[in-house]
Structure 1
Amino acid sequence: MLKAHNSSAIIAVSDLDRAREFYGETLGLQQSGGGDDQPLTFSTGDTTLVVYPSEFAGTNKANAVVWGVGCELRSIVADLRAKGVTFERYEMEGATFADGVHWFGDFGAAWFKDPDGNLLHLNSGD
Protein backbone atom coordinates (compact mmCIF):
# COMPACT_ATOMS: atom_id res chain seq x y z
CA MET A 1 0.00 0.00 0.00
CA LEU A 2 2.60 2.62 1.04
CA LYS A 3 5.83 0.99 -0.16
CA ALA A 4 5.90 2.94 -3.43
CA HIS A 5 5.35 6.33 -1.78
CA ASN A 6 7.95 8.71 -0.37
CA SER A 7 7.90 9.70 3.27
CA SER A 8 9.49 12.57 5.15
CA ALA A 9 10.36 13.42 8.72
CA ILE A 10 8.35 16.12 10.46
CA ILE A 11 9.42 17.98 13.60
CA ALA A 12 7.45 20.31 15.85
CA VAL A 13 9.20 23.50 16.97
CA SER A 14 8.17 26.48 19.06
CA ASP A 15 9.98 29.17 17.04
CA LEU A 16 10.34 28.99 13.24
CA ASP A 17 13.09 31.63 13.08
CA ARG A 18 15.19 29.78 15.65
CA ALA A 19 14.53 26.50 13.83
CA ARG A 20 15.53 28.04 10.48
CA GLU A 21 18.85 29.08 11.99
CA PHE A 22 19.50 25.72 13.68
CA TYR A 23 18.49 23.43 10.80
CA GLY A 24 19.79 25.72 8.07
CA GLU A 25 22.96 27.21 9.53
CA THR A 26 24.02 24.84 12.32
CA LEU A 27 23.11 21.59 10.54
CA GLY A 28 23.75 22.97 7.06
CA LEU A 29 20.45 21.88 5.49
CA GLN A 30 19.17 23.75 2.44
CA GLN A 31 15.74 25.32 2.97
CA SER A 32 13.54 24.27 0.08
CA GLY A 33 10.25 25.90 1.01
CA GLY A 34 8.06 27.55 3.58
CA GLY A 35 8.59 30.66 5.57
CA ASP A 36 6.78 33.36 7.54
CA ASP A 37 4.15 31.42 9.49
CA GLN A 38 4.26 28.43 7.12
CA PRO A 39 6.08 25.17 7.89
CA LEU A 40 9.70 25.13 6.72
CA THR A 41 10.99 22.40 4.45
CA PHE A 42 14.64 21.41 4.16
CA SER A 43 16.28 19.13 1.62
CA THR A 44 18.28 16.32 3.20
CA GLY A 45 19.62 13.69 0.83
CA ASP A 46 16.74 12.42 -1.30
CA THR A 47 14.17 13.32 1.35
CA THR A 48 12.53 16.33 2.95
CA LEU A 49 12.50 17.43 6.57
CA VAL A 50 9.41 19.45 7.52
CA VAL A 51 9.61 21.78 10.51
CA TYR A 52 6.34 23.23 11.75
CA PRO A 53 5.20 25.36 14.70
CA SER A 54 3.41 23.55 17.51
CA GLU A 55 2.67 24.08 21.18
CA PHE A 56 3.79 20.46 21.64
CA ALA A 57 7.36 21.07 20.39
CA GLY A 58 9.99 18.98 22.14
CA THR A 59 7.59 16.65 23.93
CA ASN A 60 8.65 13.55 21.98
CA LYS A 61 11.37 11.77 23.97
CA ALA A 62 12.25 9.34 21.16
CA ASN A 63 14.31 9.88 18.00
CA ALA A 64 12.67 12.45 15.74
CA VAL A 65 15.10 12.13 12.81
CA VAL A 66 17.99 9.80 12.02
CA TRP A 67 20.72 10.33 9.46
CA GLY A 68 22.90 7.43 8.32
CA VAL A 69 26.14 9.26 7.54
CA GLY A 70 28.51 6.32 7.08
CA CYS A 71 32.22 6.94 7.55
CA GLU A 72 31.61 10.71 7.93
CA LEU A 73 30.21 10.26 11.46
CA ARG A 74 33.34 11.39 13.32
CA SER A 75 33.91 14.45 11.14
CA ILE A 76 30.25 15.54 11.22
CA VAL A 77 30.12 15.19 15.01
CA ALA A 78 33.35 17.21 15.30
CA ASP A 79 31.97 19.94 13.00
CA LEU A 80 28.72 20.15 14.98
CA ARG A 81 30.57 20.24 18.30
CA ALA A 82 32.64 23.14 16.94
CA LYS A 83 29.33 24.94 16.26
CA GLY A 84 28.26 24.44 19.88
CA VAL A 85 26.08 21.34 19.54
CA THR A 86 26.13 19.23 22.70
CA PHE A 87 25.92 15.47 22.29
CA GLU A 88 24.00 13.23 24.65
CA ARG A 89 25.70 10.47 26.62
CA TYR A 90 23.76 7.35 27.50
CA GLU A 91 24.81 4.34 29.52
CA MET A 92 24.34 1.35 27.23
CA GLU A 93 25.67 -2.12 27.76
CA GLY A 94 28.49 -2.97 25.37
CA ALA A 95 29.00 0.62 24.25
CA THR A 96 32.04 2.83 24.60
CA PHE A 97 31.80 6.61 24.36
CA ALA A 98 34.34 8.97 22.83
CA ASP A 99 34.07 12.52 21.49
CA GLY A 100 30.26 12.52 21.41
CA VAL A 101 29.88 9.10 19.76
CA HIS A 102 28.70 5.81 21.26
CA TRP A 103 30.55 2.87 19.72
CA PHE A 104 29.26 -0.66 19.46
CA GLY A 105 32.27 -2.26 17.82
CA ASP A 106 32.51 -0.63 14.38
CA PHE A 107 29.01 0.90 14.54
CA GLY A 108 28.78 4.46 15.88
CA ALA A 109 25.77 6.44 17.03
CA ALA A 110 25.43 10.00 18.29
CA TRP A 111 22.41 11.83 19.66
CA PHE A 112 21.83 15.55 20.11
CA LYS A 113 18.88 17.86 20.62
CA ASP A 114 17.56 20.78 18.63
CA PRO A 115 16.68 24.01 20.50
CA ASP A 116 13.24 22.60 21.41
CA GLY A 117 14.64 19.33 22.78
CA ASN A 118 13.73 17.15 19.78
CA LEU A 119 16.14 14.21 19.72
CA LEU A 120 18.20 13.93 16.53
CA HIS A 121 20.37 10.91 15.74
CA LEU A 122 23.42 10.32 13.55
CA ASN A 123 24.88 6.90 12.94
CA SER A 124 27.56 5.23 10.89
CA GLY A 125 25.05 3.29 8.79
CA ASP A 126 24.33 4.30 5.22
Structure 2
Amino acid sequence: MLRDKTSNAIVAVGDLERARRFYGETLGLESGDEDMDGVLGYRTGESWLVVYRSDNPRPGTGNAVAWSGGGDVDAIADALRAKGVTLEEYPDLGMQIDRGVHRAGDFAAIWFKDPDGNVLHVNSM
Protein backbone atom coordinates (compact mmCIF):
# COMPACT_ATOMS: atom_id res chain seq x y z
CA MET A 1 0.00 0.00 0.00
CA LEU A 2 2.59 2.63 1.02
CA ARG A 3 5.73 1.02 -0.40
CA ASP A 4 5.75 3.14 -3.58
CA LYS A 5 4.66 6.40 -1.95
CA THR A 6 6.94 9.32 -1.18
CA SER A 7 7.18 9.99 2.53
CA ASN A 8 7.20 13.44 4.07
CA ALA A 9 8.34 14.52 7.48
CA ILE A 10 6.56 16.71 10.02
CA VAL A 11 8.58 18.25 12.83
CA ALA A 12 7.27 20.23 15.83
CA VAL A 13 9.39 23.14 17.06
CA GLY A 14 9.06 25.67 19.87
CA ASP A 15 10.44 28.70 18.00
CA LEU A 16 9.51 29.06 14.34
CA GLU A 17 12.04 31.82 13.58
CA ARG A 18 14.88 29.79 15.11
CA ALA A 19 13.73 26.81 13.04
CA ARG A 20 13.59 29.00 9.91
CA ARG A 21 17.23 30.01 10.48
CA PHE A 22 18.35 26.41 11.16
CA TYR A 23 16.54 24.73 8.28
CA GLY A 24 17.06 27.65 5.87
CA GLU A 25 20.51 29.02 6.65
CA THR A 26 22.26 26.09 8.33
CA LEU A 27 20.83 23.27 6.19
CA GLY A 28 20.33 25.39 3.06
CA LEU A 29 16.68 24.45 2.47
CA GLU A 30 14.38 26.83 0.60
CA SER A 31 10.92 27.43 1.97
CA GLY A 32 8.32 26.32 -0.54
CA ASP A 33 5.20 27.54 1.23
CA GLU A 34 5.02 30.76 3.21
CA ASP A 35 1.22 31.05 3.18
CA MET A 36 0.49 28.80 6.15
CA ASP A 37 0.42 30.61 9.50
CA GLY A 38 2.75 28.95 12.01
CA VAL A 39 3.96 26.37 9.47
CA LEU A 40 7.02 26.20 7.21
CA GLY A 41 7.14 23.91 4.19
CA TYR A 42 10.45 22.90 2.61
CA ARG A 43 10.71 20.98 -0.65
CA THR A 44 13.47 18.36 -0.30
CA GLY A 45 13.98 16.32 -3.44
CA GLU A 46 10.73 14.47 -4.13
CA SER A 47 9.18 15.11 -0.73
CA TRP A 48 8.34 17.82 1.79
CA LEU A 49 9.59 18.70 5.24
CA VAL A 50 6.86 20.46 7.20
CA VAL A 51 7.91 22.38 10.33
CA TYR A 52 5.19 23.68 12.62
CA ARG A 53 5.15 25.67 15.83
CA SER A 54 3.99 23.84 18.94
CA ASP A 55 3.66 24.97 22.55
CA ASN A 56 4.90 21.53 23.57
CA PRO A 57 7.40 20.10 21.07
CA ARG A 58 8.62 16.71 22.25
CA PRO A 59 12.12 15.99 20.95
CA GLY A 60 13.40 12.46 20.88
CA THR A 61 9.95 10.90 20.61
CA GLY A 62 10.50 9.45 17.16
CA ASN A 63 10.23 12.61 15.09
CA ALA A 64 12.98 12.29 12.52
CA VAL A 65 13.76 13.40 9.01
CA ALA A 66 15.95 11.23 6.81
CA TRP A 67 17.67 12.26 3.61
CA SER A 68 19.42 10.05 1.08
CA GLY A 69 22.87 11.61 0.76
CA GLY A 70 24.27 9.09 -1.69
CA GLY A 71 28.06 9.34 -1.78
CA ASP A 72 28.06 12.82 -0.21
CA VAL A 73 27.66 11.85 3.46
CA ASP A 74 31.23 12.80 4.41
CA ALA A 75 31.01 16.16 2.62
CA ILE A 76 27.64 16.86 4.24
CA ALA A 77 29.08 15.94 7.66
CA ASP A 78 32.02 18.32 7.10
CA ALA A 79 29.69 21.14 6.02
CA LEU A 80 27.44 20.65 9.05
CA ARG A 81 30.39 20.61 11.47
CA ALA A 82 31.72 23.80 9.83
CA LYS A 83 28.36 25.43 10.66
CA GLY A 84 28.59 24.37 14.30
CA VAL A 85 26.27 21.36 14.13
CA THR A 86 27.19 18.52 16.51
CA LEU A 87 26.97 15.05 15.00
CA GLU A 88 25.39 12.49 17.31
CA GLU A 89 27.14 9.19 18.03
CA TYR A 90 25.25 5.95 18.65
CA PRO A 91 27.80 3.26 19.60
CA ASP A 92 25.00 0.78 20.41
CA LEU A 93 24.35 0.45 16.66
CA GLY A 94 27.56 -1.57 16.35
CA MET A 95 28.94 0.54 13.52
CA GLN A 96 32.39 2.07 13.21
CA ILE A 97 32.25 5.77 14.07
CA ASP A 98 34.74 8.32 12.76
CA ARG A 99 34.11 11.98 13.63
CA GLY A 100 30.38 11.32 13.91
CA VAL A 101 30.07 9.38 10.64
CA HIS A 102 28.77 5.85 11.28
CA ARG A 103 29.96 3.16 8.86
CA ALA A 104 29.06 -0.45 8.13
CA GLY A 105 30.67 -1.67 4.93
CA ASP A 106 29.70 0.72 2.12
CA PHE A 107 26.91 2.26 4.22
CA ALA A 108 27.54 5.63 5.90
CA ALA A 109 25.18 7.65 8.09
CA ILE A 110 25.09 10.72 10.29
CA TRP A 111 22.59 11.90 12.87
CA PHE A 112 22.22 15.40 14.29
CA LYS A 113 19.58 17.46 16.06
CA ASP A 114 17.79 20.67 15.23
CA PRO A 115 17.59 23.39 17.92
CA ASP A 116 14.46 21.75 19.40
CA GLY A 117 16.09 18.33 19.72
CA ASN A 118 14.43 16.67 16.70
CA VAL A 119 16.71 13.96 15.31
CA LEU A 120 17.74 14.43 11.67
CA HIS A 121 19.54 11.80 9.61
CA VAL A 122 21.51 11.55 6.36
CA ASN A 123 22.60 8.22 4.94
CA SER A 124 24.35 6.91 1.85
CA MET A 125 21.35 5.01 0.47
The normalised TM-score by structure 2 is: 0.89
The normalised TM-score by structure 1 is: 0.88
Change (3 A) 1:35 1:118: farther
Tell which deviates more after alignment, 90-99 or 43-52. 90-99
Change (3 A) 1:10 1:116: same
Segments of 4+ in structure 1 off by > 2 A?
1-7, 34-38, 58-63
Q: Give the counterpart letter for 2:85 in structure 1.
A: V
Tell which deviates more after alignment, 85-94 or 116-125. 85-94
Question: Matched residue pairs, number?
Answer: 125
1:14 corresponds to: 14
1:121 corresponds to: 121
Question: RMSD of aligned C-alpha atoms?
Answer: 2.0
Query: Which whole-Å deviations, capped at 9, do the CAs of 1:64-113 have from their partners, x for residues lacking one?
Result: 11011110000011001000000111113541111221111111111100
SS state at 1:17 partner:
helix
1:92 corresponds to: 92
Query: Which whole-Å deviations, capped at 9, do the CAs of 1:27-86 have from their partners, x for residues lacking one?
Result: 010111126843000111111110001123143433511011110000011001000000
Give the CA deviation at 1:3.
6.2
SS state at 1:51 partner:
strand
1:75 corresponds to: 75
Structure 2: which 5+ residue stretches go unaligned? none
Q: Is the 8 A contact 1:13 1:52 kept in 2?
A: yes
Residues in 1 aligned to 2:97 and 2:5: alpha-carbon distance in whole angstroms: 37
Residues in 2 aligned to 1:97 and 1:56: alpha-carbon distance in whole angstroms: 33
Change (3 A) 1:74 1:90: same
Q: Is the 8 A contact 1:32 1:42 kept in 2?
A: yes
- Equivalent residue runs for 1:17-28 within 5 Å: 17-28=17-28
1:110 corresponds to: 110
Change (3 A) 1:105 1:16: same
Q: Give the counterpart letter for 1:13 in structure 2.
A: V
